[in-house]
Amino acid sequence: MAMRPSDTGPGGLAYFQEDSSAEVVNARMGEDVSPRLKQVMAALVRHLHAAVKEIEPTHEEWLAAIRFLTETGQMCNAWRQEFILLSDVLGVSMLVDSINNRRPSGATPNTILGPFFVDGAPRYPLGADICRDGKGEPTVVRGRVVDTHGQPVPGAMLDVWQTNDDGFYDVQQQGVQPEGNLRGVFEADADGRYWFKTVKPRHYPIPSDGPVGQLLGRLGRHPNRAAHLHFIVTAPGHQPVITHIFTPDCPYLGEDAVFGVKQELVADFQKVDDPEEARRYGMAAPFWRVDWDFVLAPA
């Protein structure tokens, strides 16, 4: 039986419908809640309500939105972070980066972490080749890790990862690529120097096997990332840097699918055709050589 205004409901209250506006939702937060949490949730609720009012979704559309987020979460595991990818393609990862970009000038800037960082990559001695599938154009990456005064940072740790020559990370092709292909952890020497062998990265499409890649397709956006090597460089007493090296000849430098390109991160890839130098690295000529220093800001 439908209730009329004169009926009384649970608790002896007259029939009424509660106000569920953003203001009422936010006013219900307690007194001794973390002020930052309060601020964050108030802003989220306010903007989310505003978006829903503007969109006026049907029930089906709202359920589709929930399903999209559920699938995004179900895609996440230790080697695939679909929510990071969502943040990346919406420009939010780089927005957060720019808000927190307070490094002294000269320090190597951050860029996007991306969805394919894996903790615990193989540890290699300096000079090792991280390419285990034999594909691609051999490349030596070498340089120094220094502080903002140009002093070496001995013992800095460099974690590097990239796609193979077919455009896939090892974890996207388990059972196809050798495990740990094109990932490695190196420790800089007493002069802060590092060097290792890899292959020249290529531009490649962000994965279309998940909800975020499919969304890009439906939005008519190209999925290509500018060719890059990922790095995380850490050392005690210094701010860690999560960054990339980009190749200079990539057609997507100006329109990276995740907006991650910064001019200062585009490296010079030199083609070296000197058999003597190739031999020193245990390679055949010609090969690519990248000279690249990382400059760490004080912690």
By CB under 6 A, name the binding residues for ligand MBD: 85, 88, 112, 114-116, 206, 225, 258, 260
Residue 163 C-beta: closest distance to ligand MBD, Å: 7
For ligand MBD, which residue has the nearest CB? 114
210 binds Fe ion (CB under 5 A): no
Nearer to ligand MBD, 88 or 170 (CB): 88
Applying CB under 5 A, which part among 68-76, 110-118, 189-197, 274-282 lies near Fe ion? 110-118
Tokens read off for 16: 């009424």
Q: Are the C-beta atoms of 286 and 117 separated by less than 8 Å?
A: no
206 binds, among ligand MBD, Fe ion, none (CB under 5 to 8 A by kind): ligand MBD
Please, which residue, 147 or 256, has the CB nearer to ligand MBD? 256
Pairing of strands 287-291, 269-272: antiparallel
Q: Closest distance between ligand MBD and the C-beta of residue 284, in Å?
A: 29
| C-beta of 114 vs 143, nearer to ligand MBD | 114
**DSSP structural state of residue 200:** -
> The tokens of 38 are what?
């309060």
User: What burial class does residue 40 get, using C-beta atoms within 10 Å of its C-beta: 0-12 exposed, 13-18 middle, 19+ buried?
Assistant: exposed
Nearer to ligand MBD, 112 or 121 (CB): 112
**Which of the listed partners (ligand MBD, Fe ion, none) does 258 bind, with a CB threshold of 5 to 8 Å by partner kind?**
ligand MBD
Query: Cβ neighbours of residue 91 under 8 Å, at least 6 residues apart?
Result: 258, 259
Q: Are 108 and 178 in contact (CB under 8 A)?
A: no
Q: Using the rule CB under 5 A, which residue among 81, 110, 114, 296 binds Fe ion?
A: 114
- Least CB distance to Fe ion at residue 18 (A): 47
197 vs 230 by CB, closer to Fe ion: 230
Query: From the list Fe ion, ligand MBD, none, which binds 80 (C-beta under 5 to 8 Å, kind-based)?
Result: none
Is residue 192 near Fe ion by the rule CB under 5 A? no
Cα separation, 194 vs 231, whole angstroms:
13
CB 295, min distance to ligand MBD, A:
22
**How far is Cα 158 from Cα 231, in angstroms, rounded to an integer?**
7
Is residue 138 near Fe ion by the rule CB under 5 A?
no
Q: Is 207 in the site for Fe ion (CB under 5 A)?
A: no
Peptide bond into 286 cis (omega under 30): yes
Pairing label, strands 183-187, 157-161: antiparallel
Q: What is the rounded radius of gyration, in angstroms, for the C-alpha atoms of the chain?
A: 25
Q: Does 109 bind Fe ion (CB under 5 A)?
A: no
One-letter identity of residue 102: R
Written as one letter, the residue type at 298 is: P
**Interface with Fe ion by CB under 5 A: which residues?**
114
